[in-house]
Structure 1
């Protein structure tokens, strides 16, 4: 197999740099009309025929010989069996990662709060976990037990009563690591269903699949399109684009390390994006040489090659300050600050899903076991979005209790504003509660 790279080289000093960067970053995650219509038809069928539609679609799309919905349900005992089928080393790694993820997310828990004003009025916020969350997990060979941990554990830490997992098993192919991760993460129910039909089942419920409040987890274009359509009926985490990494380096890190960090995201798929920014032109040359040297040694070399050639880049900047400006412009999913003093530059970073500090902190550690969540905003959405966390599985309700005196005082203000909006019933509702001695004020 012959592989070669022609990774793009950009220079921030060029007059048309902004245009070239915009072109490099552009990504359209929209479904075509055929995919969209097919997904709508699947959702309609699941809503109308429930379990029967799930069985039919699973037979057709996954090649699974399922006669009834019971053939698509895995009990807790099956998850526990998976723990015994993986190797002791794998189990130890899963449990260590799970403990670290759980410990990190415990710190995200929000508590309810209240305060009392001088007149006895009480204001506050009540934090309540969702009743039920749905977790979509890709199945077959493209299986990610780490995603099970990252999605299920924050839900359980938040206090979600029931976590329901859907995972396709194409041609009956079951991934024991995924089931073991589900066991460790505390998943309550598992259905071996995938695709848009699984999303529809979670959103609307069937005779067997319970309706959930929120659906999280990655999937293909059919899953993403279905999540778009059911949003509003249920909450969703995000519509994720291809994986991304941006490495900012001062030129002093081993170029082989940087090349492999770029590969770590490029190997996800051909549309993944890996970018290196540095003020050191000679270092960019050394990394380019490392890329060419190491690429033929990679198991997923063809995928990496297409990703690097299609959407990768080595960007030269004037100095580290301009590197920070470019990083904020890109707003990457993963940002590595491979520099001597990352803490000094951290205040400069405004937009990034996850920030990996220092030369020894590879992005791969965050994917599996560092602790923070690896479900991150992509395609520049880090400008306004955050990593998945406990807060995604909690709701906040406002608390308002007015004392007699407080209702009277607030009634004057509410009355003026309501009448200004010509909402007389609002005004009179507030005015009824104004104390007699206050009415002349």
Structure 2
């Protein structure tokens, strides 16, 4: 049919029809023959016509191919909300130096050579940030590193994934605490590792048990949160740290040290990380700005021997060519100016006040329902509920009343319900904490 005739039938301008024809020809739906008309392309497969429905589904819910769905990957995604919360131990973004960060971000965005700053950069991360981090970690954590010992990642989760991809093979033996960070466990399960567990007491993981495991199995790696054990918040004591390092050297296994909230220790000066005493290159040290600024700012780091950093950078490039160079340089600027260091000192005072107030509230309002040790550091209180309390239903009731906290199921041992959970205090003001405990008290549900 000619374009003139079709324009008359559809009551459209002829140019519109001509443009539509040209587009269909370019896409291969139509074809023209010299000296003749325009036709539907001959090479199109014959498609059976279907009756139109009133509410068509444009994309099916199920895939048209087979795949394995691993059950351990299925877990609740906890999102921030405007409800009151006693979370897992997150910082208060209201205290973060957001004005300074915005200034530094804009400065790095508009000044300097735009081709260099806005183009592809180093897979290991912005050199300025690695330089400032090396200086900061050397001063604050007793490390002895250079920028070549630092790999910038999106966060500890990404660092963990790179670690398992690069160094853990199917069948390798990996050791975790009996109660551990679920994201770490999932990474090792995904890598096909055989997971072994060791208990934790008031002095941290029981290193003597680890040695017995080393005699039975070729241990590839141990994952630890040495400064504030997850979830219990206890600190791994000095004698166990020394023994663990010697054991790693003897049995040649990797120590992945996740130092997620080193900067917030209240009782005394924090113990230096294992990485500060590592003389043989067995420790891979991890940290991030998630706890010091906010979870939204996805900048973390791995510290290791240069050879390891170079090796991990190859894997990082597979999944993420580079990070947010502007954000990395902005954080580098704040470290260089001392803004982040000042923020950490101020936050430490504020979080200590909130910890003391929250623990006093728990003692006054819930002394017959909960027990806990005042944490030496961190942003949450490891809280044990009385056996007569149904923690799951209590959490459900609290949520209906406007308070979120974890029901603690993720911390249970395979054959024992410990009826405990982490109650985060740092992200709430003292006024909000008072409201939280009031709701928690009203929401207690007996078995």
Task: Please classify the TM superposition score into its range, dividing by the shorter chain length.
Answer: under 0.3
TM-score (norm 2): 0.26
TM-score (norm 1): 0.26
More helix by share: 1
Q: Which structure has the bigger radius of gyration?
A: 2
